[in-house]
Structure 1
């Protein structure tokens, strides 16, 4: 005599087996999801489009712009200086970037002694990678990805500070990203519609035209 189980009972058995599998996964000890996310932020994403943007990095301390003069890195550039135009390259899941001089093609790097140097390399070494941090005062700071706690910083005279002498709350490491003259992204005109109180019709707003003499 053949015994046929009810369909509802079979579904219940499958559900119990599925729950057992989930509980086995959750029972694994010492699973650090934070470490997993941190590791993934450092993995370069070859499938995504790389973001390259040209900026001038204005130093809050020196009042000038960061310059990549080859192997020498300073913060004495005036607005529009060709050596003060840098390319910020980002191709990671997180906020890790590389800073390259547009004129010289040298990358800003920080060696093991904490000194800022320019290197004619691919910029993919750990010493040439920085973590971009947007601070509460709307300034930007760049911390070394290899030497945590060491930042790109300059003195009032535009000389680079060594990494061990820097802190995130120091003015010396605060920068403002500015577009070079003539390279500001154009903002397209966006019209909107207003309704007149006297009539039911509507009309689009347009930029005011100059009066003819």
Structure 2
């Protein structure tokens, strides 16, 4: 048998081992089941985060849509509906050139027609256009001839006119072959001409029904077919002239000059004083 001291030391050593084992077990219980390996704990954390994201996405899909009001005032709908960037629509300015072009092609039945009286001087024949009683049209009239006196009526507010002889009352028209003819009724579109002021200050008369066909006369004063005319040709160039002895009596064509008394500045420059008109 051993000595009592050795037996006591063995007993103390055994108790110490039991205490150490009890401390290890308590520490393991406090850390939990996943606190053993750091790598395992990191993998477990990633899985938990992925599971949380999938759960939130599923929750958003199953979440009911907001109930927007179908009826109500505009202020109530704007307060509930989400704010959306509004598109600003910019309206283009009206094209007045296109408006004038379109209205010039329509006969004006409301406005008062402007009536002018003049002669058409042909550049090629050197004479004036005349409408005879036998419905013939030529450019062989002298200045002041009664058959050369023409009355021009506006058809639109633009430059479209109807030309008729003052002596016979017949309108200058153009048929489908391009020949100038005289008609007693000038309401058709074939009796309407567009006045075009050229760069050389001459005037060309283009038919409204047959685009590109002009009133033209040869050197002998005979009418030329409109299908053979162009704007740059001398045969289509005319000059407006007043008949001999014809004077305008319209007051609107006369200018009135108004004499205003001159004014002078004072020395200070802040007030203006009117000086009496010299006599």
Question: Given that residues 104 and 159 in structure 2 are in contact (C-alpha distance below 8 angstroms), is that contact kept between their aligned partners in structure 1?
Answer: yes
Matched, 1:149 2:203: no
32-41 or 127-136, which deviates more? 32-41
Query: Where do 1:9-158 residues align within 5 Å?
Result: 19=88, 37-70=100-133, 71-121=135-185, 123-158=186-221
Change beyond 3 A, Cα 1:156–1:192: same
Change beyond 3 A, Cα 1:44–1:62: same
Task: Classify the secondary structure of the residue corresponding to 1:176.
Answer: strand
Alignment match, 1:210: none
Greater Rg by CA? 2
Question: Given that residues 109 and 116 in structure 1 are in contact (C-alpha distance below 8 angstroms), is that contact kept between their aligned partners in structure 2?
Answer: yes
Q: TM-score, normalised by structure 1?
A: 0.73
Select 2:247's aligned residue among 184, 203, 208. 184
**Whole-angstrom CA distance in 1 between matches of 2:149 and 2:162:** 14
- Which ranges of structure 1 fall in alignment gaps of 5 or more residues? 27-31, 204-213
User: How big is the shift at 1:95?
Assistant: 1.3
**Whole-angstrom CA distance in 2 between matches of 1:185 and 1:75:** 25
**Whole-angstrom CA distance in 1 between matches of 2:255 and 2:168:** 36
* Structure with greater proportional helix content: 2
**Whole-angstrom CA distance in 1 between matches of 2:140 and 2:178:** 20
Task: Classify the secondary structure of the residue corresponding to 1:152.
Answer: coil
**RMSD between superposed Cα atoms in Å:** 3.4
**Whole-angstrom CA distance in 2 between matches of 1:60 and 1:181:** 19
Question: Given that residues 139 and 174 in structure 1 are in contact (C-alpha distance below 8 angstroms), is that contact kept between their aligned partners in structure 2?
Answer: yes
User: How big is the shift at 1:38?
Assistant: 3.3
Change beyond 3 A, Cα 1:166–1:194: same
Task: Classify the secondary structure of the residue corresponding to 1:168.
Answer: coil
Q: TM-score, normalised by structure 2?
A: 0.57
* Structure with greater proportional strand content: 1
User: How big is the shift at 1:165?
Assistant: 1.4
